[in-house]
Structure 1
């Protein structure tokens, strides 16, 4: 095979789904994730959403609301079937069906929060709950599940009839008809659960890049949802972020190793010998130089597949979240549109750099997304020059990959409609009670959620009208909520370290070159930069001192003493 870029991509294999697709799948697979997502973005809609790099919040929220609505509709249909059994089929049939559903619900697990089993037999066997290889396929599972439901139904109905009549031999024709009516109701409930499973499987298949159907665009269901989607689109990508005292930086991920350096700005030996003062330098100059040098990493055409090609450098401002006035009067006031992007106005960036307000923190944000935006590195760089001192601050954050449990949609592959239908019928028969209990429970969940949202809106209006301060900061990040907490392979960890080291070295070289070009002595800066590099790479740096005895540094380092000698 010739070594061409096209063949290179072929050797790398198909591109898996990105973070947005997996989080959309999580809205269907994990009710806990869905409930917390809706609580943060819908019930407390007055809050400003946390940044979710590489993620479309509107898409994820739309899937969460759609999943909840579909289950609630199924629950309403099931309740309607159960309620209609009493006037149509009689009290005995209606009672028998309700008792049967309750029994199946207890056996099937009512109130289950996670629903990975909805993916079907092949995925559950491979990923979620490995089983014995003696397990049968889709068709036999359907027959076995349906047989279990019918057997339990017949036995329970017969037992009720025996208790009511005393004998099984002399069944009243009306009672026998009630038995069949109960089975008809059970069949309708089974079909309702199977339809929900079928629709969910087709929806989940669309979230894999190998899916047979494209993901439909988010179409808001009602005026309230349309307003919420528009608000999220406007606010999720702006440069002005909110912080609160307990959790100042929500949404950027896990904090890495930070460093800070401070040194005095002195003229270089050459400038001092000439009696010339160095040129003035401030934070605005340093930000501009750092941004230019880092952006050059994304412009190297020799490595078109490197994730650094997607590197971005923007301004970020963190501002207090406790305010007594509406956000419309202050949030976004320092920003402007540049095409499809919302960026900090240059005049505001310059003013923030020069004034250094303690409650308004201005950072240069360097962002690198890799592995289809599942691993996102964000570095906040801050520089100040006050009183002849230069202060440089480095705050790295890493958003780890989406939880592996949500990646199971990649295994669905291409499936035909009949295959989805057979799978849905089989699993609906096996777990009918649990499905019905969960679907009916969603009716109560939707009602409770809407009630909480309405109360929060009334409370917010009351607080603002009365002049009370409101905390607009987010409580959680959707992207962090769906993260798995660990890397999926060692290559991702190595890539993160490479990106951080690369950007750090470019920051050091940019600042050092700017100092030398303006006539400052850069020896102190270079010494601290080298020390930081050594420590971050697991080494030990000893500056202007002598160490007597052995020294060990780095992960797992140790010192062995043999005859007074260290090795």
Structure 2
């Protein structure tokens, strides 16, 4: 089933999440769980990522992993069966021709040891190699202890301790693997090994691992390399009504300027919240100046040809205030595109609706209806039903909720900058209230960190490809135990998910987005340059917001002195001074000021200072 193109389908964030399903079994299972198992749960707003290609790659890897698990299971079954046959013959020879031999006798003999069949070890070769495989798999997982600790935000001493523990475990596992091969080779040289199967079956497992790893690396090169991802054809979703419905739902939810939310976590997927700021001021009309003109135009130009403020008739509303902010941001984007390569040239501005949860993702509502009529009125009252994410529903919510100031349904101006190839995503949410002759402005900045380092390391791996068959064969021999255990775990998870899909609760209560896949694999640490850039973006956007509000106040004939005072007080803790005669001002925890009683000359003009 082909996938629809989305504006984020070819971004770097989408590419790295697709890479992640090849490298992290836990992440791959989480993708399928969130998108397929929880069909009652809408997806989080896309923050530079299209989750449909990620799901398609996850399902493709899962199918290939299931095939690998079946092949590995067949090899292990043959390995164990060879042990059983060899010991069965050994027990029969000991008891003589015609003696009865049952399976319990054979098992007892296998775990008692035999000089010729197991070189005197109290384990059959298959069980001994199974322990080797488990030890190497555990060592492989423990080897990433330090990076996992750092990703979790733990201090460096803890991460170093995890690295040291992982190194010791890995060393012990490799010593155990060397013991296995030494036991077999010594038995072979001493003439005790009567059959080559303890060597042939590990080689068969390595051959299966070689085939699986070759398929993975070919997929990474052909579809997910930096130079091929933008044009390569990505895998398709499986056929069937389940995935057809899922594809349509996800596409509609990712394109809509609306999301459902739960009160415990409304801003899923935006990352870490920065320092929010807000202010409230009374709207007071200023005296009309001589020559000032009035108009009913609600455009962004707030002055007439002579430079005097052009007053707009009608009250200042949240809608008109946002309409004055949006052109400021648009001009910022256009100027950045003309002046250089600043990421502000890709700045996105839109009005985004947060709707309280309580409806199914495809439930039909009246146009403008909301889930909880006790929280927010039902809207227009028209009877035509549309899904909650339908464009007509979204437009009605944007139109009706922008000025209502409700507690449940909220409209924000969302400003987004995807920097560092979508590794650092800055989002600023703006909301304006104008009820009761008051102006309240709320600004919430968020920063989403880079994708995990191991996902980004795929480019180093791909740059080393293609490799010689000798090197790839040796690598497969070394990784075969780990691949076998991983494939077995993944195959069991696939079987469980398949059974759960057939027996899942189709009457689950409607839910809201709980997890953002992009945020799930993000790290909290930013480099110094990334931190500098994110701070610059937030400050620049806030300045444009301030300019838009200032122009809105001027255009509607309101005084701006109190607004200017609030802005400068909130800007880095500074103090705004307007028309000051006498007195003294001190800032900071140890600041001091002294008034000397001097009086400014009459010709001195009032000045504005930020201290």
Normalised by the length of structure 2, the TM-score is 0.70
1:101 aligns with 2:129: yes
CA distance in 2, matches of 1:110, 1:85: 22
Q: Secondary structure at the match of 2:571?
A: helix
1:187 aligns with 2:203: yes
Corresponding residue for residue 323 of structure 2? 288
Contact 1:266 1:521 survives alignment (8 Å): yes
**Matches for 1:218-367 after TM superposition, within 5 Å:** 218-223=235-240, 224-270=242-288, 279-300=314-335, 301-323=337-359, 327-330=362-365, 346-367=395-416
The match for 2:69 among 48, 59, 75 is 75
Cα shift at 1:76: 0.9
Cα shift at 1:213: 11
**Matches for 1:136-147 after TM superposition, within 5 Å:** none
CA shift in 2, pair 1:416/1:376, >3 Å:
closer
CA distance in 1, matches of 2:448, 2:399: 29
CA shift in 2, pair 1:211/1:515, >3 Å:
closer
CA distance in 1, matches of 2:25, 2:541: 39
Q: Secondary structure at the match of 2:363?
A: helix
CA shift in 2, pair 1:287/1:93, >3 Å:
farther
CA distance in 2, matches of 1:36, 1:241: 21
CA distance in 1, matches of 2:208, 2:324: 63
Cα shift at 1:505: 0.9
CA distance in 2, matches of 1:44, 1:348: 26
Contact 1:254 1:399 survives alignment (8 Å): yes
CA shift in 2, pair 1:354/1:57, >3 Å:
same
Contact 1:31 1:115 survives alignment (8 Å): no
Q: Secondary structure at the match of 1:534?
A: coil
Cα shift at 1:415: 4.5
Larger radius of gyration: 2
CA distance in 1, matches of 2:396, 2:131: 68
CA distance in 1, matches of 2:208, 2:144: 19
Residue deviations 1:461-487 (CA, integer Å, cap 9, x gap): 2x5xxxxxx241122110101111111
Q: Secondary structure at the match of 1:109?
A: helix
Cα shift at 1:98: 2.6
Contact 1:515 1:521 survives alignment (8 Å): yes
CA distance in 2, matches of 1:388, 1:101: 78
Corresponding residue for residue 444 of structure 2? 395
CA distance in 1, matches of 2:570, 2:471: 57
CA shift in 2, pair 1:543/1:493, >3 Å:
farther
CA distance in 2, matches of 1:232, 1:294: 29
Contact 1:58 1:218 survives alignment (8 Å): no
CA distance in 2, matches of 1:104, 1:541: 71
CA shift in 2, pair 1:331/1:208, >3 Å:
farther
CA distance in 2, matches of 1:21, 1:76: 29
Corresponding residue for residue 553 of structure 2? 515
CA shift in 2, pair 1:30/1:100, >3 Å:
same
CA distance in 1, matches of 2:253, 2:366: 9
CA distance in 2, matches of 1:186, 1:260: 66
The match for 2:487 among 409, 425, 439 is 439
Corresponding residue for residue 183 of structure 2? 155
Corresponding residue for residue 609 of structure 2? none
Contact 1:308 1:368 survives alignment (8 Å): yes
Contact 1:377 1:398 survives alignment (8 Å): yes
Cα shift at 1:357: 2.7
Q: Secondary structure at the match of 2:352?
A: strand
Q: Secondary structure at the match of 1:362?
A: strand
Paired residues in the alignment total 487
Cα shift at 1:232: 1.9
Cα shift at 1:428: 2.1
Contact 1:316 1:344 survives alignment (8 Å): no
Q: Secondary structure at the match of 1:377?
A: strand
1:380 aligns with 2:374: no
The match for 2:19 among 15, 22, 25 is 25
CA shift in 2, pair 1:328/1:46, >3 Å:
same
Normalised by the length of structure 1, the TM-score is 0.75
CA distance in 1, matches of 2:26, 2:498: 17
The match for 2:53 among 36, 52, 59 is 59
Q: Secondary structure at the match of 1:269?
A: coil
Corresponding residue for residue 476 of structure 1? 515
Contact 1:319 1:359 survives alignment (8 Å): yes
Contact 1:263 1:390 survives alignment (8 Å): yes
1:34 aligns with 2:28: yes
Residue deviations 1:136-162 (CA, integer Å, cap 9, x gap): xxxxxxxxx99x979835734976x99
CA shift in 2, pair 1:326/1:33, >3 Å:
closer
Contact 2:126 2:198 survives alignment (8 Å): no
CA distance in 2, matches of 1:81, 1:540: 76
CA shift in 2, pair 1:350/1:442, >3 Å:
closer
Contact 1:240 1:318 survives alignment (8 Å): yes
Residue deviations 1:103-150 (CA, integer Å, cap 9, x gap): 221331259669989xxxxxxxxxx99x9xxxxxxxxxxxxx99x979
CA distance in 1, matches of 2:488, 2:229: 31
Q: Unaligned stretches of 5+ in structure 1?
A: 1-15, 118-127, 132-144, 163-167, 464-469, 561-567
CA RMSD of aligned residues (A): 4.2
